[in-house]
Amino acid sequence: AENLSSISRYRSIMMKYILVTGGVISGIGKGIIASSVGTILKSCGLHVTAIKIDPYINIDAGTFSPYEHGEVFVLDDGGEVDLDLGNYERFLDIRLTRDNNLTTGKIYQSVINKERRGDYLGKTVQVVPHITDAIQEWVVKQARVPVEDDDVEPQVCVIELGGTVGDIESMPFIEAFRQFQFKVKRENFCNIHVSLIPQPSATGEQKTKPTQSSVRELRGLGLSPDLIMCRCSTVLENSVKEKISMFCHVEPEQVICVHDVSSIYKVPLLLEKQGVVSYLSRRLNMPIETRPRKMLTKWKEMSDRSDRLLEQCSIALVGKYTKFSDSYASVIKALEHSALAISHKLEVKYVDSAHLEPSTLQEEPVKYHEAWQKLCSADGVLVPGGFGVRGTEGKIHAISWARNQKKPFLGVCLGMQLAVCEFARNTLGWTDANSTEFDPESKHPVVIDMPEHNPGQMGGTMRLGKRRTIFKTNNSVLRKLYGDAEYVDERHRHRFEVNPELKSHFEEKGFRFVGQDVEGERMEVIELDDHPYFVGVQYHPEFTSRPMKPSPPYLGLLLAAAGKLQSYLQKGCRLSPR
């Protein structure tokens, strides 16, 4: 017994670190691979946490345009972070904090603050050792922070280094991990390198040269990959595997093929099938039980079901960042989780909201008619959050259409605020009703900026993070979808709010504010009477949606779009057996 307790003590003391680096190109799928590695280790009964390192100088992702790195993901503590943390939360079903996203800006800021305080008195502050030490200390400290509801300290930390090996800006991080591997000892640190195997269409042959170069560069910087994960469009041929093994100084079993698959939820199964768990348990000396893994069976069922779906459901996503699907990554995932739950295949129709506006009819009539054709042929309409005036009138036109045609509609954040503007203009007759964000002079400011908003600074000055919403009525559709909860805790990210002084004008006409904040001053949820599903939420429910636990507002939208909402509510919010 004493021996067993010493083993468990050993396991709790020695944190295992898995560093995921990328080569050849960025955007190769490191985030999904890091999440999948975490998932298969979690299914073996280990507690897993994740850290994302972004080598840019911004302190956080809060001020990015979605065209830069995709959407900005919001955490419980109000941290505005890279969308990969969203992947970690969804795959591993954990709750991370802002310090799980490390940027060059944060590291330099902390070192410069120390220097000003006089912590390095008399010393020259340099990249090595001061910046590299700060990186290592941050990782060691953050790896121990519990991320699950049971508050257990994690045993494995997956660290994803953004960008590509060889970038100037990621050099201090690579050097920090080169030192780190010796500090924590070999059996507690391993490196997974994700690389691209291109297949030029002219010959159709899989090429290994880019991978050889990127591994050579990584080894030159002092890190040797333990697993080389090859991203390719088709399954890796054996001869190619052997060639990579020979030129990159690894065994063939250390070369893992991650080819394109129909659903990202198949990636953990793909890695597990190629023996990644058994390799990591040997390499990192982790005593993992070999029992059949229950959690992965759920993933298998889920990915099999996603291949067998027959019925289809289409949602028009009316936004202004529609050229780049990562701009709405969590929204798309939340729709996918809900579609899977009701066994429907999801079709997202991206509608650029600016194309719905009358001015487009004059300038580019083809785009105008195509946009309206997409909107009118969809089974449901979703207007997500956004910033800035461009495209807002188009969104209002889309909301008006959904309201009048009795099409299922969900408005999130700005989408909810614009639904209020639309109703004020077209039902209450306040033709100039608007948000002070777009028209500061409006006589009917139905959406106003919040008193605590600081207009001087842009970064981190919004109402951010997890806040409580209280349901004010018992017969709200959304309340039923949340399992008849009295309140919900969801994540926010906004500077403007619905003007609470004008509330009574709306409620007289059947436009009800069914959810409000704890003080009753902020309008959080709207619902419209006599409509199959017309819901707006001030918070972002997509951030807490999970593959096995879809977000209720999105589930409601898909149920309504598939014509199943009423029967679902009558059955006490239970889906019929599949």
* Burial (CB count within 10 angstroms: exposed 0-12, middle 13-18, buried 19+), residue 415: buried
Among 280, 289, 88, 55, CA closest to 189: 280
Whether the Cβ atoms of residue 236 and residue 206 lie closer than 8 Å to each other: yes
Whether the Cβ atoms of residue 433 and residue 425 lie closer than 8 Å to each other: yes
Please compute, for residue 89, the number of CA atoms within 13 A of its CA located in the half-sphere on the CB side: 26
Cβ atoms within 10 A of the Cβ of 263, count?
15
Among 529, 433, 536, 443, CA closest to 494: 536
Sort residue 490 into left (φ over 0), alpha (ψ -120 to 50) or beta: beta
> Would you state the structure tokens that stand for residue 70, as one six-digit string?
């995709």
Quick one: three-class SS letters along 184-223?
CCHHHEEEEEEEECCCCCCCCCCCCHHHHHHHHHHHHCCC
Residue of 80, 422, 490, 542 with catalytic role: 542
Among 162, 38, 56, CA closest to 103: 56
Among 533, 514, 511, CA closest to 523: 514
Residue of 130, 413, 437, 490 with catalytic role: 413
Strands 380-383 and 409-412: parallel
Question: Could you give the CA distance from residue 161 to residue 388 in angstroms, rounded to a whole number?
Answer: 32
Q: Which residue has the tokens 């949606």?
A: 545
CA 375 to centroid of chain Cα atoms: 26
Collapsing DSSP to helix, strand or coil, 262 comes out as coil
Active site residue 44: no
Which residues partner with 314 through β-bridges? 347
Active site residue 413: yes
389 backbone dihedrals φ, ψ, rounded to 5°? -80, -25
Whether the Cβ atoms of residue 524 and residue 552 lie closer than 8 Å to each other: no
Question: Could you give the CA distance from residue 578 to residue 574 in angstroms, rounded to a whole number?
Answer: 11
Residue of 344, 397, 444, 540 with catalytic role: 540
Question: Could you give the CA distance from residue 137 to residue 139 in angstroms, rounded to a whole number?
Answer: 6
Please compute, for residue 108, the number of CA atoms within 13 A of its CA located in the half-sphere on the CB side: 13
Torsion, CA 102, CA 104, CA 110, CA 113, rounded to 10: -160
Active site residue 542: yes
CA 533 to centroid of chain Cα atoms: 26
Sort residue 24 into left (φ over 0), alpha (ψ -120 to 50) or beta: left
Q: Which residue has the tokens 């990782």?
A: 139
* Catalytic residue annotation: 413, 540, 542
